[in-house]
Structure 1
Amino acid sequence: MTTVARPVVAPPEPWEFPEGATYDLPNGLRLVTYDVPGQYVVSVRLGLPVSLRDEPRDREGVASIMARTLDEGTEQHTAEEFARLLERKGVSFGAGMADAGLSIDLDVVKGNLEPALDLLRQILTEPAFPTSEVARQVRTRIAEIEQERSIAAHRAGLEFVRTFYAPEDRSSRPTGGTRETVSSITRDDVAAFHAEHVVASGVTVVVTGDLSGLDVPVLVEAALGGWAKGPRQRERHLQHAAALAPDRGRIVFVSRPGSVQTEFVIGAPGPDRSVEGGWAPYPVLGFVLGGSPNARIDAVLREEKGYTYGIRSSFRPRRRGGVFLTSGSVRADSTAESLRLLVEILEGGRNGFSDKEIRSGVDFISKTAPGRYATADAIADEAVGMALDGRTTAFTTANLRDLATVDRARVAAAFAHFAEGAGIGVDAPGAGWTIVIVGDAAAHLEAVEALGLGAVTVVTDP
């Protein structure tokens, strides 16, 4: 019998994010291209660094309504005509507003990139904003607001930002506005916001896919080179971290009589990607605590106790500052016990992590990167996300390389830095956390208060 030696599997070579080519247009627009051979659906992403804080206070939500109506007709075409043009050219289009800015997504087969860019030009520079379409989107948004309040996870998120951020800060209110502010939005409000803020200066356009045979810089300049530059000062709000509420370290219980599940959102201030000591340990820390079914939280609450289908934790950086969030639902009869365990597990991070835990987090994040960024759309999404964060994808590569050096000591230092900055567990268990609970307050309030994790405020929806 012949014995064959088992082959030695070598560790993978260090992976780098694809290298892009950068071009700056005279009107302030920056173009970044990534040639991905064999991917014949070209992804175009546009990131416009306009802040939600630029919205008028009594018209909050106008940026979201504007984003939704950009493709609802132009100076040359009605909404129906424009929809048919997008369909005829095989163009998939989407736009949305978030804290980082306005994002526009466009995917098109390679052969139709030129006409697709012209359609993008019309969307950006000459949208019609028909009164009927704006009114329709306003009605849709109001209906969404009612639906969001009825879904426990959404309701918990709304109460969290209201509790966590200072009342005067835009972040304390929904991205898409409230019923009161959205109801007041008119076609003129949308057009005025667009005219002032949707300008070329500071915009990043990313084009990815098989670009062989295409002169993308020439095509983009021909389509968008005439887009008005506009003022640079619009980025002023993006340079400041959101203001936190001075009383954010407390528990808010949103009453839902008869709920058979209880929804939690537990959070604290977190770092941005410029954090001292490097960003790499923080995704690992989030992964180990609650980033997977094998993480500490699910190991106890799901596998051992059977209280939940899954609860997740992650650090969510913003351009300035950030937040650490843990969220998910549990069986109603385990409400108080689940909250006690969650706080215990999260604060247990100060006791350190095992080499096995750290290696599992590092391996997952680093070794799945080639798969995560294997397609043109994923590359484009990462590139425009970095641009809206004031960075390039050189950061993505550098962070992945730094990830290889992350060990127990660095993760422990990252947790200590996070906990100190957030004031976690300074005086007693539960200190420093903003905890929102959506569930049956009458049934579980007394048990939650008995945990001694802080003062509890009960909120009852009308």
Structure 2
Amino acid sequence: MELHPQPVGGQPKPWKFPAPDRGTLPNGLTVLRCHRPGQQVVAVEVNLIAPLDAEPEGLDGVATIMARALSEGTDKHSAEEFAAELERCGATLDAHADHPGVRVSLEVPASRLAKALGLLADALRAPAFPDSEVDRLVRNRLDEIPHELANPARRASMALSKELFPAESRMSRPRQGTEKTVERIDAGAVRAFYEAHVRPATATVVIVGDFTGVDLDTALADTLGAWTGAAAEPRPMPPITADDTGRVVIVDRPGAVQTQLLIGRIGADRHDRVWPAQVLGTYCLGGTLTSRLDRVLREEKGYTYGVRAFGQVLRSAPSSAPGGAVGAAMLAISGSVATDVTGPALADLWQVLRTLAAEGLTDEERDVAVQNLVGVAPLRYETAAAVAGTLADQVEQFLPDDFQAQLYARLAETGTVEATAAAVNAFPVDRLVTVLVGDAEQIAGPVGELGIGQVTVVTGQ
């Protein structure tokens, strides 16, 4: 029997996060394109500067309804026809709203890119916003709200935002609105928000994939290039302020068998030079199954299936903004534990933080974190969608096009001492707001004895 020779691995090739080509269409639309040979599913991300703090007073959630309504019909197609045209292209179109703005995402086979770009352009250029479809989306959103309030993790996130930010700040309120504000939204409000904020001159499109055999310049000119709109002055960005005085808020859920933990504060965003060290230190603290928090709370004590520490950028601003950058990131620790061990679990969590401050990280922890963060990057960015999403994040956060590539280089250069200092500064034991969603009658006493802050109990509704 003749066997095929065993394949032999080749020499590893240096990897670097892809660099996009940047340009501008005559209508003012900024375009970032990135040719990725072999990526036959092209990913397109559109950043629209329509932030949540631009929503009219009393209409929280209108940005979300507008984003969802972009694909509910245009001047050329009804909602059903538009959906059918997307399906014929083998394309998916999604949109969502967040604090920085609205993001529209398209994925389509490269062979049908031109057709799908035309549909995307129609959705941005001339959405119909029919009354019946907007009303349906409002009803759907109202149906979602009770489910979100019943979800412990979502409820904890809402409570933490309410605690951290002043009541007048949009960041203190649910991103997608409350029942009271959503029920006020109608097609007229959606159209007004669209007309006030959506235009090509302030938008950016990121397109990533294999463009072999595709006349991308012509496709863009004939579709997104036909989108017109007036220019607009840059919107002022309100400063981000937060109160991270150490305290505990218990969202009461009588009879709950688990307690959802969310512990957080506001810290540096990606414009800060400490960001790479903060990423590395946070990863060592709670970024994976081998992190300190998991090792103690999961492996040694068996309190939880997992605890994670993370940093999530809320909003960034260009350095040219008045007073300098006004961005911030949410630094948080999240997980869930059995109700009867809530007190001991929090005690051990705080001890992990105190030990980190007293003894620091080890070189081994630092090396494993770098290997995991930097070494797996080529796998993380195997798809066009992953690359496009990161490039769009950079645009949204006013970062240079080579930021991600430089970040990996800086992570590899960050030392153990620097990572330790960043993690300790990110999670100071006396400046953390702790939200617990659980049975207040069972957990309030043990938590109060820990001395990690004044305990307040609120209704679970």
Q: How many residues align?
A: 441
Deviation string, structure 1 residues 135-182 (Cα, Å, up to 9, x no partner)? 111111111111111111111111010001111100000110011000
Residue in structure 1 matched with residue 329 of structure 2 by the alignment: 322
Determine which of 405, 410, 413 is the counterpart of 1:402.
410
How much does 1:221 deviate?
Answer: 2.2
Residue in structure 1 matched with residue 451 of structure 2 by the alignment: 452
Please tell me the residue identity of whatever aligns with 1:296: R
Residue in structure 2 matched with residue 242 of structure 1 by the alignment: 240
Please tell me the residue identity of whatever aligns with 1:439: G
Residue in structure 2 matched with residue 6 of structure 1 by the alignment: none
Residue in structure 2 matched with residue 5 of structure 1 by the alignment: none
**4+ runs of 1 displaced by more than 3 Å?**
9-14, 229-232, 415-419
How much does 1:308 deviate?
Answer: 0.3
| In structure 2, C-alpha distance between the alignment counterparts of 1:377 and 1:217, rounded to whole Å | 20
| In structure 2, C-alpha distance between the alignment counterparts of 1:403 and 1:19, rounded to whole Å | 18
| In structure 2, C-alpha distance between the alignment counterparts of 1:294 and 1:114, rounded to whole Å | 46
Residue in structure 1 matched with residue 378 of structure 2 by the alignment: 370
The CA RMSD measured in Å over matched residues stands at 1.8
Which ranges of structure 1 fall in alignment gaps of 5 or more residues? 1-8, 426-430
In the alignment, is the contact (CA less than 8 A) between 1:29 and 1:203 conserved in 2? yes
1:27-426 correspondence runs (5 A): 27-237=27-237, 240-245=238-243, 248-276=245-273, 278-318=274-314, 319=316, 320-351=327-358, 352-418=360-426, 424-425=428-429
| In structure 1, C-alpha distance between the alignment counterparts of 2:356 and 2:203, rounded to whole Å | 40
In the alignment, is the contact (CA less than 8 A) between 2:166 and 2:242 conserved in 1? yes
| In structure 2, C-alpha distance between the alignment counterparts of 1:230 and 1:150, rounded to whole Å | 43
How much does 1:10 deviate?
Answer: 12
In the alignment, is the contact (CA less than 8 A) between 1:290 and 1:296 conserved in 2? yes
Residue in structure 1 matched with residue 18 of structure 2 by the alignment: 18
| In structure 2, C-alpha distance between the alignment counterparts of 1:456 and 1:438, rounded to whole Å | 13
How much does 1:414 deviate?
Answer: 1.9
Secondary structure of 1:307's counterpart equals coil
How much does 1:24 deviate?
Answer: 1.1
In structure 2, relative to structure 1, the CA distance for the partners of 1:82 and 1:53 (3 Å cut) is: same
| In structure 2, C-alpha distance between the alignment counterparts of 1:270 and 1:68, rounded to whole Å | 31
How much does 1:347 deviate?
Answer: 3.8
| In structure 2, C-alpha distance between the alignment counterparts of 1:186 and 1:144, rounded to whole Å | 17
How much does 1:235 deviate?
Answer: 3.7
Secondary structure of 1:50's counterpart equals coil
Secondary structure of 2:284's counterpart equals helix
In the alignment, is the contact (CA less than 8 A) between 1:23 and 1:217 conserved in 2? no
- Calculate the TM-score normalised by the size of structure 2: 0.92
Identity of aligned residues (%): 38
Secondary structure of 1:404's counterpart equals helix
In structure 2, relative to structure 1, the CA distance for the partners of 1:138 and 1:347 (3 Å cut) is: farther
Residue in structure 2 matched with residue 428 of structure 1 by the alignment: none
Secondary structure of 2:226's counterpart equals coil
| In structure 1, C-alpha distance between the alignment counterparts of 2:134 and 2:296, rounded to whole Å | 48
How much does 1:215 deviate?
Answer: 2.5
| In structure 2, C-alpha distance between the alignment counterparts of 1:102 and 1:140, rounded to whole Å | 19
Please tell me the residue identity of whatever aligns with 1:262: T
How much does 1:196 deviate?
Answer: 1.0
Please tell me the residue identity of whatever aligns with 1:297: L
Please tell me the residue identity of whatever aligns with 1:85: E
In the alignment, is the contact (CA less than 8 A) between 2:286 and 2:308 conserved in 1? yes
Please tell me the residue identity of whatever aligns with 2:40: Y
Q: Which moved more, 1:408-417 or 1:73-82?
A: 408-417
| In structure 2, C-alpha distance between the alignment counterparts of 1:188 and 1:459, rounded to whole Å | 36
| In structure 1, C-alpha distance between the alignment counterparts of 2:382 and 2:266, rounded to whole Å | 32
In the alignment, is the contact (CA less than 8 A) between 2:45 and 2:104 conserved in 1? yes
Residue in structure 1 matched with residue 320 of structure 2 by the alignment: none
Deviation string, structure 1 residues 318-346 (Cα, Å, up to 9, x no partner)? 31011211011001110111111122223
In the alignment, is the contact (CA less than 8 A) between 1:270 and 1:316 conserved in 2? no
Secondary structure of 1:437's counterpart equals strand
In the alignment, is the contact (CA less than 8 A) between 2:28 and 2:202 conserved in 1? yes
- Calculate the TM-score normalised by the size of structure 1: 0.92
Secondary structure of 2:378's counterpart equals helix
| In structure 1, C-alpha distance between the alignment counterparts of 2:210 and 2:13, rounded to whole Å | 25
Please tell me the residue identity of whatever aligns with 1:300: V
